Amino acid sequence: MKNVAFLKSALMAVSILFFAASCSKDKEESKEDLIQGTWFLTSNGGAPVDNDLSPKIVFANNKVTITSVYKNEQDKIVEESEEGTFRIEGNTLILISSKMVEGRTEIVSLTSSEMVLKTKRGIDVYRRTKIAYEEVHATQKSLQGTWNLNTYNGTSVTDEQMKKSNLVIADDNFTLTTYEDGKEKVVKGTFVIEKGNRIIVTESAQKTARYQVVILEKDKLSIKLMSEDDVLGFVKK
């Protein structure tokens, strides 16, 4: 019974973590300070971005330079940059072009290493460094499907209620279903991937959460909460 209680707490922690804010250290700095520097687009609307075609944004004081990257008809990579100014009001990033055209984008989360924006096409994730497109794509493909909970800290789950818990991943969407005292709890959101970590972005709560993937095989998935020692094991249905 003690292990069951611990497991229930761990599963609840997973759900809560999906809605947790970024670390307190980042909260001490203003958004204007955190946003300074160069950012590379690594996920566009939930889809990984090819390194060679990764757009970037550079913030310097109140100035901003946006560089788009594309291939022309000769299959050559071309970069085009546009300069402007910016300001931040609450959770809104306001970009003003050189022609005084104003655009507004919602800041879902902002830390010293990651910037998540909500645009018309979905969630965009920016990082300080580029990541390997092939690695991200392969990981995202491996995560697809329904994963049933079967272990907690290496021990098989025997509680029938807990065994019904599962994680469903379809494209860049996830649905986590857990059970607490006979009541079903469902958390839905979208996810993106960075090297070594999986970033879960829940659009409904406008928060981000992180967990470490310990094992990812064809039919086996183990995750470790970044803020806890508990490891949850899943098998593909």
* pLDDT for position 127: 87
Query: Which tokens sit at 134?
Result: 């092939």
* pLDDT for position 139: 78
DSSP 232: E
* pLDDT for position 94: 93
* pLDDT for position 20: 45
- DSSP letters for 178-227: EEETTEEEEEEEEEEEETTEEEEEETTTTEEEEEEEEEE-SSEEEEEETT
Q: Which residues of the chain have pLDDT under 50?
A: 2, 19-27, 196, 204, 206
* pLDDT for position 130: 60
Three-state DSSP state, 124: strand
* pLDDT for position 97: 85
* pLDDT for position 27: 47
**Number of Cβ atoms within 10 Å of the Cβ of 17:** 20
